[in-house]
Structure 1
């Protein structure tokens, strides 16, 4: 199943790479988002590969929603993670494919076709980038730490975003807003990032990345400090999570909670 997921990501990635740098015409351009024909083109190619090999499996994808079949296996597909980046010619986007088996995340594949980065992981088997095993870093100095902030497009206001991110902008080396969350989790997995703060963001967007980061040794909790446990996927499911290299986890989580509480009290 992992090899088929990588095949589906590769086919969709080749299509997206071919269209990248073209002057794209959106189907719809919203305040916080953009809809492109390339989203659907990528999705069609992924679904064709998955259905050809696994005709009884259920698929959930961003464009078509849930195609219900066998409930034991559920593929969670984001055919173009980072659509806004893709639209403006910024080569930070990916194809994200995860498999949920009997309510548990079993594998994840995240592919950035422009950079040629194929990340993948199976539960209990470690995480890999282009065939090489990867792991989180061991940084302990907060002032040298780089991280990213992920927020739900429709669930978090700009004011909430500013309140939560301010201490990280001031106290860490760098806070990024990459707007391609699946790929962010892979950067953490490979030790390029030190932390992720995620606020009420959709699980569909990050399911594959969570598998990869977990298998690379990342510490993942909710904002209250409870270890991350995958809940059987449903549409519009959102979570607020903190993920780190482990060394910085208590500090990063405390900064997140303190700022969030202060914002609520205001």
Structure 2
């Protein structure tokens, strides 16, 4: 097997090892954990991670690993694993079967492999760069015949969002905007589960806002390899089943902008005169920023500055499949 094939096989073994632990605890009604107003840390998180880490470390002792519970393990290899032992902890402790074990692997920062296992329903997603998405062994794509106004979209926000008033307000505005365009928005507390559904065409879109690292690489690689239409602006990432749906979710140019909103983010900046004319999630993020957080040119200042321009939809050599950009720095392979 190739190096990537070896990594994918180990990723699959790791999520299945974690899934076995989760399934046992779920059916035993294990709800032990530390509960706060913002989150819950279940005993199952740590126990599941302890089942997954040895699988990875024994196979690739020189690879770096970030594990949600144990933290960072340094490595001497360009590969870095991101381990999410229990995605959907709140669901798990509440007795809802919507949760999964997941891993993703980056090479020099770019996601190349991801694996998801949902133990209660025995569903597995495997995705490898340039090789597409497999769901229980069958290749799938994000293609969907459901029109946007009848569609379902997953909204994914990171842990920091509810705890930050500014980000929370922006997230609510984004979700409200999506709700005006589609039938239903799922506020996802199991992001990799909903991203998997999107990658096989059961959902029509995914909107990520300041996602956690554990879910970000999985979601973006799934979208890319499922032939989804994708756009990004800093911490905002939108994927849709097709370009037309993406245009609706992302937003059309405001009056007088003369072009795509993604081409000039400053058209939505406070004081631009277009604050109230844009539709779509991207305009709502710009409208959510207070004037004091911008320079004269409409960009965010200081540490809050983000990538202003749309992430180009990178494509493989076959011209068909989009690839997520690395850390918001986009390049167009078709140029």
**TM-score w.r.t. length of structure 2:** 0.71
CA distance in 2, matches of 1:22, 1:160: 39
Q: 1:240 aligns with which of 232, 236, 244?
A: 236
How much has 1:83 moved relative to structure 2? 0.6
> Is 1:172 the equivalent of 2:197?
no
Partner of 1:141: 147
Deviation of the 1:213 alpha carbon: 2.2
Asked if 2 retains the 8 angstrom alpha-carbon contact of 1:164 and 1:259, the reply is yes
- Supply the distance in 2 between the matched residues of 1:99 and 1:35 (Cα, whole angstroms): 24
Which residue of structure 2 lines up, in the alignment, with residue 232 of structure 1?
Answer: none
How is 1:122-137 mapped onto 2 (pairs within 5 angstroms)? Answer: 122-137=128-143
Give the whole-Å Cα distance in 2 for the aligned partners of 1:126 and 1:151. 25
Deviates more, 1:21-30 or 1:69-78: 21-30
Q: Which moved more, 1:44-53 or 1:256-265?
A: 256-265
Show CA shifts across 1:104-135 (max 9, x none): 21111011111111001110011100100000
Q: Which residue of 1 aligns with 2:230?
A: 220
Indicate whether 1:256 and 2:262 are aligned. Answer: no
Measured after TM superposition, the shift of residue 264 of structure 1 is: 3.4
Worse-matched range after superposition: 63-72 or 156-165 = 156-165
CA distance in 1 between counterparts of 2:233 and 2:150 reads: 22
2:14 matches 1:4: no
SS of equivalent to 2:188: coil
Distance 2:286 2:56 in 1: 44
Equivalent residue, structure 2, for 1:103 = 109
CA distance in 2, matches of 1:183, 1:25: 20
Deviation at 1:140, TM superposition (A): 6.7
Offset at residue 161 of structure 1 (A): 2.9
Please, which of 50, 75, 89 is the counterpart of residue 69 of structure 1?
Answer: 75
Alignment of structure 1 residues 15-164 onto 2, 5 Å: 15-139=21-145, 141-156=147-162, 157=165, 158-164=168-174
Partners of 1:43 and 1:63 within 8 A in 2 = yes
8 A contact 1:117–1:129 mirrored in 2? yes
Runs of 4+ in 1 over 4 A off after TM superposition: none
| Match of residue 234 from structure 1 | none
| Higher relative contact order (CA closer than 8 Å, sequence separation 6+) | 1
Q: CA RMSD in A?
A: 1.8
Give the Cα separation in 1 of the matches to 2:227 and 2:120: 26
Q: Which runs of 5+ in 2 are unaligned?
A: 1-6, 252-279, 292-335
SS in 2 for 1:78: strand
Deviation of 1:258 after TM superposition, in Å, equals 2.5
C-alpha distance in 2 between matches for 1:240 and 1:171: 18
Q: 1 CA distance for matches of 2:153 and 2:8? A: 28
**5+ residue gaps, structure 1:** 225-238
Structure with a larger share of its residues in strand: 1
User: Which digits, 9 at most, give the CA deviation of each residue in 1:234-263, with x for residues without a partner?
Assistant: xxxxx3211111231111011102233333
Distance across 2 between alignment mates of 1:103 and 1:172: 34
